[in-house]
Structure 1
Amino acid sequence: MIERAMGSQKLAAQLLESYEPGSSFFFASPRRTLLARGTFATVPHPGGTDSLSRLPERVAAVLHEARQADHDIPVAVGAVPFDGRISAQLVVPQTIQRAGPLVFEPGAVPHLAPVSRYTVRPVPEPAAYLNGVARALKLMEHGPLRKVVLSRSLHLRAAAPIDLRQLLRNLAQRNPTGYTFAVDLPPQLAEAGGTGGRTLIGASPELLVSRNGLQALANPLAGSAARSADPSEDQARAAALLKSPKDLHEHAVVIEAVVEAMRPYCKNLVVPAGPSLVSTATMWHLSSRITGELADPSISSLTLAVALHPTPAVCGHPTELAQETIDAIEPFERGFYTGTVGWCDANGDGQWAVTIRCAEADENSLRLFAGAGIVAGSKPESELAETEAKFRTMLQAMGLGQGVEAQP
């Protein structure tokens, strides 16, 4: 393996420019940029209901074999789907290059190519999504379900090929404090009529978990409000979010579950007394940074990611009941949306982001995703509006402004 220590901002930008769809893995966090190329080994998928729980063991075995084959400092990169029964897309690349964080010139404007005409098909239709939220609220009235995340998708098809390299650059530039990624997906995930190869691309605001030595960090986000172009209104929305009983309750449900999942692996955990605010270009979020010291150095970042996945931030609580509700209400398979994307090295260090604000793309189409957390007190119209706001991360990077209208 070739690994180069790259500390300069210029070299981080070069890694972004060097990304090639179909042959690269790209992952940029607020602290580092990573570009991997080629495939030295693929992590196998044995199938079965316990496939997800066995994933860290399989990855560790492949990394050990790579090291035994003189593949220096092996790293596994890729994505894990929402449904643990589906095969993860994880590989040990031939080469990997690292640099510091991406930094763009102040005031730099993302390049937006002329917008192609897109046909747009929402799945489900907005009215059906409203009905789905209402169904979930009824379940909460009469059962133990405390939260469920219900999602929507937008299927966009263009007459001209989509420039994924430029889309990735725009996402990175518009979301400098997030986790920008591009992952090759296997051909069998292509939609009917596609060319076969697909790419998972996005800019997530949410870190699932990272490990650096014995230090672990999780940073769940739950509770959201759309940003406003008016500065006074924007600050008012942020202040309201920080005091919202509904959103504070939603956040508390997530933090409780994350702490419960991390506690068996940590000597101690530091949990904030309450959430703070973080923002992206399109959304305000309630955020809590949970840190811990690992009890055993053999616990890898992927072990922690699997223990946490899926958090109530993307699924709900209780988890099994929320998953059953999602299966009953959502009219599509999530695939890698609301899974996790990132990397883990042979020492166990790594970073895993929650796979949100993303799309699955092929040559001429994209399938965008957005979801909202439903808890007691949620209003269907507000949850629909939240998904519309979350679509903007991808739509604005595509040069489509605040939204798109369905076209025949």
Structure 2
Amino acid sequence: MTGSSSEPRMLATQLLDSYEAGSSFFFASPKRTMLARGTFATVPHSGGTNALELLPERVATVLNEAREAAHDIPVAVGAVPFDSSIPAQLVVPMTIQRAGPLVFDSAAPAQRPLAERYTVQPVPEPAAYLNGVAQALKLMQSGPLRKVVLSRSLQLNAATPIDLTQLLRNLARRNPSGYTFAVDLPPQLAATPGAGRRTLIGASPELLVSRSGLQVLANPLAGTTPRSADPIEDQERAAALRVSPKDLHEHAVVIESVVEALRPYCKTLDVPAEPSLVSTPTLWHLSTRISGELKDPSISSLMLAVAMHPTPAVCGYPTELAHAAIGTIEPFERGYYTGTVGWCDANGDGQWAVTIRCAEADEHSLRLFAGAGIVVGSKPESELAETEAKFRTMLQAMGLGQGAEVQP
């Protein structure tokens, strides 16, 4: 046998502490933790305009080959990009260790900054982002575009090496109800010539889809407001989000699309009539948990993820029009941001989270991403503020605001 699994008593925190950038895949959900090491096989990229559509078939082929080669843990792990012109980064690892949910000692010492000083470059600049939102609103007034998600990035550079293992710990500790991940990226995606390995790292609050046997779960989030340190104001913001016409409209567009994507694969679908509220340390979100039962056990979690990707929560609606608007307005390539990250085994079970609240990192830099959904009624200044709030997930995990310094 060429693979191995952990003992049931393995602590999730031990897997977290064992993560090593450049040789590991880490994925923690609210109920389980996974650490994969090494590469037994790599899922090849087919190229072409239908590369994403063909991805589940390619993964199934590689997993079957791994099983035939007596590899006892045929599981594909990794990340799928926003745009299918970029190859998915999926591998069958040599070993996988699994454990239950991460549980931390509340008495542990406070985190330290990952570096003492950073320089930061926003792309685009805030004023240009405001102009982009105004441009998107004009497109909606003159055509059938109903929603477009516009993103920003922050390039942070440090003179000293960034401890990605500590960053991953900080993210997991601060976001226990989310999906914490770290994925090795191929060197050719490095931002500068000659740069070394890159790591996709983050803590997403949003489950794209999971499959366990015939049971399917999706949990789209759309409609967001920043949290407040004042408890009374924080609850007022949450209550306002629950009844906000703009945010309820944005959420409804997403739910409509997700249900449309899942319905052909499911015998039953349970869709709550109204969204609920969920929170992270920095944000309130409108959330809908959609559950269903598959028609056919041959439908894998990755097939479902591909059918849903990209949802209007990260792209817009209608998808093709929103994708075109993003390509015109955003001044950078998203790469794996707003893609999906997770795993799928040879039986089809798996979990896929939406790749948000994340960064692409190398030894001395991180490129952070954040976006906001633009619909009729959006105000550019409010959307800019939403992206600032979404950056805080990564910034706080980096220790910024706790002794570190950011220089323009």
For the aligned pair, the TM-score class normalised by the smaller chain equals over 0.9
Give the partner amino acid of 1:364: H
Whether 1:372 aligns to 2:365 is no
Aligned-residue RMSD, C-alpha: 1.5
Describe the SS at the equivalent of 2:103.
Answer: coil
Judging changes above 3 Å, is the alpha-carbon distance between structure 1 residues 237 and 107 closer, same or farther for their aligned structure 2 residues? farther
1:211 alignment partner in structure 2: 211
Displacement of 1:34 in angstroms is 0.1
1:21 alignment partner in structure 2: 21
Q: Show the 5 A alignment for 1:155-194.
A: 155-192=155-192
Identical amino acids, percent of aligned pairs = 79
Give the partner amino acid of 2:348: G
For these two proteins, the number of residue pairs brought into alignment is 407
| Distance in 2 between residues matched to 1:388 and 1:289, nearest whole Å | 26
Q: Does the 8 Å CA contact 2:113/2:400 hold for their aligned counterparts?
A: no
| Distance in 2 between residues matched to 1:263 and 1:252, nearest whole Å | 16
Displacement of 1:86 in angstroms is 1.2
| Distance in 2 between residues matched to 1:4 and 1:101, nearest whole Å | 16
Query: In the TM superposition, what whole-angstrom CA distance separates every residue of 1:48-87 from its partner, at most 9, and x where no partner exists?
Result: 0000000000000000000000001310000000001210
1:310 alignment partner in structure 2: 310
Judging changes above 3 Å, is the alpha-carbon distance between structure 1 residues 361 and 237 closer, same or farther for their aligned structure 2 residues? same
Whether 1:339 aligns to 2:339 is yes
Judging changes above 3 Å, is the alpha-carbon distance between structure 1 residues 233 and 7 closer, same or farther for their aligned structure 2 residues? farther
TM-score by length of 2: 0.97
Query: In the TM superposition, what whole-angstrom CA distance separates every residue of 1:348-392 from its partner, at most 9, and x where no partner exists?
Result: 000000000000000000000000000000000000000000000
Displacement of 1:407 in angstroms is 3.0
| Distance in 1 between residues matched to 2:252 and 2:217, nearest whole Å | 18
| Distance in 1 between residues matched to 2:117 and 2:256, nearest whole Å | 45
Whether 1:3 aligns to 2:22 is no
Q: Does the 8 Å CA contact 1:357/1:369 hold for their aligned counterparts?
A: yes
Whether 1:246 aligns to 2:266 is no
Unaligned runs of 5+ in 2: none
Describe the SS at the equivalent of 2:162.
Answer: coil
Whether 1:382 aligns to 2:366 is no
Query: In the TM superposition, what whole-angstrom CA distance separates every residue of 1:91-114 from its partner, at most 9, and x where no partner exists?
Result: 000000000000112354542236
Give the partner amino acid of 1:336: Y
| Distance in 2 between residues matched to 1:181 and 1:386, nearest whole Å | 23
TM-score by length of 1: 0.97
Give the partner amino acid of 1:337: Y
| Distance in 2 between residues matched to 1:214 and 1:334, nearest whole Å | 33
Displacement of 1:191 in angstroms is 1.1
| Distance in 1 between residues matched to 2:216 and 2:53, nearest whole Å | 19
1:104 alignment partner in structure 2: 104
Judging changes above 3 Å, is the alpha-carbon distance between structure 1 residues 194 and 233 closer, same or farther for their aligned structure 2 residues? farther
1:276 alignment partner in structure 2: 276
Q: Does the 8 Å CA contact 2:113/2:403 hold for their aligned counterparts?
A: no
Displacement of 1:2 in angstroms is 3.2
Judging changes above 3 Å, is the alpha-carbon distance between structure 1 residues 224 and 264 closer, same or farther for their aligned structure 2 residues? same
Displacement of 1:250 in angstroms is 0.2
| Distance in 2 between residues matched to 1:401 and 1:295, nearest whole Å | 50
Q: Does the 8 Å CA contact 2:78/2:342 hold for their aligned counterparts?
A: yes
Displacement of 1:7 in angstroms is 4.1
| Distance in 1 between residues matched to 2:131 and 2:284, nearest whole Å | 26
Describe the SS at the equivalent of 1:154.
Answer: strand
1:93 alignment partner in structure 2: 93
Describe the SS at the equivalent of 2:52.
Answer: coil
